[in-house]
């Protein structure tokens, strides 16, 4: 890794933008194989005291790292803007036919009073004509709202709010002006993929109308993920959801279907990583299928109506929490048409 660095205290967005152009010029002159990445801007708003935690998560996104990263660290009592700008590339040693892909990074230290007009600070620092994603893992809704005119993508985690109803309403509001990537939704991806694959063969697909009960097990802080999984089923299968209610430490509810009703149940379970711990889908006549988190992948179980059971391990079914942020960056450029209908159904289930 080689890099060019510029730092300044009590600076302005104009000065930072000029410094970035100068750093790029130096890299072009010193390394003819240097080519800046041009895929996406990512703006991250964090609390300065908890910045290290977010930096560690960003360090694990691997090849999904944004082309230009702008980090705005908020510090109480600060009235001026300090900045560090970096232009870096891996494989700095030039070789015939080699391209050293460069990435740019701007670190800002700002005060709370800067957040209401953060767009005027960030705008000159973005690469024009690229998609811009905004992420505020520590809240800072005012800053996200200020950046709406610049953001085409907003990264959220509806799991962060203890009230899924409030989190879903905020996500729906943001979806009115930008494409929303929800990390709570992505945590259910392996489970949705495996359930869809189970019912994909035509002979089995016909049994979707026989579903009588869906039970989802989740970590205590992952109710949003469990609700979104049930909402995904409801939105894809045409079920009419109703608000779920507290029941014996979990949530219970029902969905109306063309053939009757389907019961829904969310149960809290002890587990290390956030997200889902298991899913059981029961069919008419006693048949069922289940997925449970386990070492090496998901443990799958299938039970026939006569009680015969099959068990196996679905290898590599989950990327794990360490890779969820990188998946969020990747999904920002793919567009998932199933999230918005699931979000609306989830709002109903959450009351």
Catalogue all structural domains in the chain, each as residue range(s) with its CATH number.
Answer: 2-151 (no CATH), 189-349 (3.30.360)
Q: Give Cα separations from 143 to 27, 55, 74, 206 (angstroms).
A: 32, 19, 10, 48
Rounded Cα distance between 303 and 283, Å, is 10
Q: What is the DSSP string of 204-270?
A: HHGGGGGEEEEEEEE-TT-HHHHHHHHHHHHHHHT-EE---EEETTEEEEEEEETTEEEEEEEEE--
Instruction: Quote the pLDDT of residue 91.
Output: 66
pLDDT, average across residues 153-166: 96
pLDDT, average across residues 112-118: 97
Helices then strands, counting H and E runs in the chain, come out as: 11, 18
Angle of CA points 136, 137, 140, to nearest 5°: 45
Going by pLDDT thresholds of 50, 70 and 90, the confidence category of residue 92 is low
Instruction: Quote the pLDDT of residue 146.
Output: 97
Q: Within its chain, how far is the Cα of 213 from the centroid?
A: 28
Most confidently modeled range among 21-25, 152-156, 283-287: 152-156
What pTM, to 2 d.p., does this model score? 0.92
Of 268, 262, 296, 266, nearest to 282 (Cα)?
262
pLDDT, average across residues 286-290: 94
In terms of Cβ atoms closer than 10 Å to its own Cβ (0-12, 13-18, 19+), residue 310 is exposed
């Amino acid at each position: 890794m080689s890099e060019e660095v510029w730092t300044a205290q009590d600076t302005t967005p104009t000065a930072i933008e000029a410094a970035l152009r100068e750093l790029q010029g130096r890299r072009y002159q010193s390394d003819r194989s240097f080519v800046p990445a041009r895929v996406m801007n990512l703006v991250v708003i964090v609390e300065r005291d908890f910045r290290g935690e977010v930096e560690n998560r960003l360090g694990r996104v691997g090849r999904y790292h944004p082309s230009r990263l702008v980090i705005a660290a908020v510090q109480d009592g600060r009235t001026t803007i300090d900045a560090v700008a970096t232009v870096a590339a891996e494989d700095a040693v030039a070789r015939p036919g080699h391209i050293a892909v460069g990435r740019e990074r701007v670190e800002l230290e700002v005060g709370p009073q800067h957040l209401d007009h953060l767009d005027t600070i960030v705008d000159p620092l973005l690469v024009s004509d690229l998609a811009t994603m905004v992420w505020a893992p520590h809240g800072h809704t005012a800053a996200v709202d200020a950046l709406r005119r610049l953001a085409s993508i907003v990264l959220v985690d509806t799991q962060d709010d203890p009230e899924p109803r409030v989190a879903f309403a905020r996500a729906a509001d943001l979806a009115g002006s930008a494409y929303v990537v929800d990390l709570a939704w992505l945590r259910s991806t392996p489970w949705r993929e495996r359930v869809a694959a189970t019912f994909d063969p035509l002979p089995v697909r016909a049994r979707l109308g026989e579903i009588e009960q869906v039970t989802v097990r989740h970590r205590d802080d992952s109710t949003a993920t469990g609700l979104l999984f049930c909402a995904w089923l409801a939105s894809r299968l045409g079920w009419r959801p109703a608000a779920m209610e507290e029941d014996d430490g979990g949530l219970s509810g029902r969905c109306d279907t063309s053939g009757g009703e389907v019961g829904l149940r969310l149960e809290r379970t002890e587990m290390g990583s956030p997200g889902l711990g298991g899913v059981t889908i029961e069919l008419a006549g006693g048949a069922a299928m289940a997925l449970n988190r386990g070492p090496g992948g998901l443990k799958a179980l299938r039970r026939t109506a006569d009680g015969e059971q099959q068990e196996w391990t679905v290898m590599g079914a989950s990327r794990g929490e360490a890779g969820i942020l990188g998946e969020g960056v990747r999904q920002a450029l793919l567009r998932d048409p199933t999230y918005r209908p699931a979000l609306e159904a989830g709002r109903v289930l959450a009351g």
